[in-house]
Amino acid sequence: MADCGDDKRDASSAGKTRRRPKIPLPVEQPQPLPIPIANDQPLTEKTTIRLSGEDVEVHVNDLEVIDKLGQGQYGVVEKVRHKNTNCLFALKRVRHSFDTKENERHIREINVQQRTTNCPYAVFFYGALFREGDLMILMELMDLSLDRMYKTAHLADVNKPIPGNVLKHVAYSVLSALDYMYQIKIIHRDVKPSNILTNRRGQFKMCDFGIAGQLVNSFARSEIGSQQYLAPERIDVKRDGSRGYTSVSDVWSFGITMVELANGKYPYEHWKTPFQQINDILNGPTPKLRDDDPRFDPELRDFVGKCLVKNPSERWRFNQLLKHSFLSGCDRPETLESMQEETAVFVKLILDVMEAKKAQQYSG
């Protein structure tokens, strides 16, 4: 079951606007009202959303685990049902740690998600809960990550590469999310296919803000993202003379992600050692789209090329990329609707393939 509703913005009691995400059937269209959480406020076993015009308390005891969606270094993500309303959510469950930096990472993720509530290209945050050592982040439920989507699409018995317009929709959605974050002085720092989610409605949204950084004078300090997607200047800081992470480093990661989604494989695939990996990123040829694929017009090739310039001072910024001819007209409602419809068809196809393969495994 997927969530439903619309993304219209409604006024909250504080007089601010807050976008309205999709909420699961069978409930009516809701107006969620996440409770703000500051670093100095204790988390509890409950939070509050607004459903059909009424405040609804969500308690840990009322959340029933339906399925396990994924597991990573910092915790597990589950599909849960709120028993009192039948609403479906994604719940990220993280075990409390005595490591101060790790705990700060989780609180930072909560705070970043609060600040991106009005961004339609970021997974919606409902609130956070805490119980018996577990920190739980209640989020909008999506259907699929892009790493699983493209890997399924490129299976030999499927052979359904991501269509050009869907790639364009990915690019516009992700850049819009990254630019929104940049405007509120946040950079993601871990852009990769597994951190971009989609759903049956044909939407793309960014997730996993655990290592997102606060910009100070255009730089963010400390943590870095996944090594395979690091920009050259993040591997060799002498390249730009700084010790901070800037927004153009996210542009490089985004470019690598676009090449991976389009070509159906990670562009650096023949490493034998981590040192070879680093050397290839720093000194090897810049990744590019396959020459023999008719899906890739000159505008897309130029667009990706602007992302993957090794010199960070020459690499395009988010706002420049959003104005690139490849994305021309994407901000028009009719264009967005058309891209979303085409994406929904493709996502449904991939989900149907995955469900069929899962059924075959059980029957076999």
Which residues have CB under 8 Å from 329's CB, separation 6+? 335
Binding region for ATP: 92
Tokens representing residue 342 in the block: 């085409």
Give the CATH number for residue 103.
Answer: 3.30.200.20
Mean per-residue pLDDT of the chain? 80
Q: In what order do the strands lie in the sheet with 144-145?
A: 144-145, 196-198, 204-206
Give the CATH number for residue 252.
Answer: 1.10.510.10
Same domain, 135 and 13: yes
Same domain, 200 and 319: yes
Residue 353 located in a structural domain = no
What residues form DSSP beta bridges with 90?
79, 139
Residues annotated as part of the active site? 190
Same domain, 131 and 28: yes
Predicted local confidence at residue 139, as pLDDT: 87
As a whole number of angstroms, the distance between CA 214 and CA 184 comes to 9
- The residue from 87, 107, 139 where one domain ends is 139
Same domain, 119 and 166: no
As a whole number of angstroms, the distance between CA 83 and CA 64 comes to 7
Same domain, 134 and 148: no
Predicted local confidence at residue 106, as pLDDT: 64
The mean pLDDT of 264-285, rounded to a whole number, is: 85
Residue 332 located in a structural domain = yes
- The residue from 139, 156, 186 where one domain ends is 139
Same domain, 267 and 341: yes
Which residues have CB under 8 Å from 316's CB, separation 6+? 248, 251, 306, 307, 309, 324
Tokens representing residue 80 in the block: 């849960």
Please count the structural domains in the chain. Answer: 2
Same domain, 201 and 160: yes
Same domain, 213 and 109: no
167-213 tens-digit pLDDT: 999 999 999 999 998 888 888 778 999 999 999 999 999 987 554 44
Residue 145 predicted with pLDDT over 60: yes
Residue 11 located in a structural domain = yes
**Coil vs helix vs strand at 231:** coil
Closest by Cα among 59, 131, 137 to 96: 131
Same domain, 185 and 296: yes
DSSP string, 151-212: HHHTSTTT--PPPHHHHHHHHHHHHHHHHHHHHTTEE-S--SGGGEEE-TT--EEE---TT-
Residue 15 predicted with pLDDT over 80: no
Work out whether the CA dihedral 208, 120, 186, 227 comes out positive or negative: positive
CB 339 within 8 Å of CB 165: yes
Same domain, 166 and 130: no
Same domain, 17 and 114: yes
Residue 35 located in a structural domain = yes
Which amino acid makes up residue 103?
Answer: N
Work out whether the CA dihedral 27, 33, 39, 43 comes out positive or negative: negative
Closest by Cα among 75, 78, 84, 86 to 24: 86
As a whole number of angstroms, the distance between CA 163 and CA 334 comes to 19
68-104 tens-digit pLDDT: 988 766 678 899 999 999 999 999 888 766 666 666 6
Tokens representing residue 188 in the block: 């993601």
Residue 358 located in a structural domain = no
Residue 79 located in a structural domain = yes
Range of the domain at 298: 144-346
Name the helix (H) or strand (E) containing 321: helix 318-322
Per-residue confidence at 279, pLDDT binned at 50, 70, 90?
A: confident
What residues form DSSP beta bridges with 198?
144, 204
Largest CA distance in the chain: 58
Which residues have CB under 8 Å from 306's CB, separation 6+? 315, 316, 320, 321, 324
Residue 280 located in a structural domain = yes
The mean pLDDT of 139-156, rounded to a whole number, is: 95
- The residue from 139, 155, 172 where one domain ends is 139
Residue 354 located in a structural domain = no
240-252 tens-digit pLDDT: 555 556 789 899 9
Cα angle 71-77-79, degrees, rounded to a multiple of 5: 135
Same domain, 209 and 110: no
Q: Is the pTM of this model over 0.85?
A: no
Taking residue 84's Cβ as centre, other Cβ atoms within 10 Å add up to 12
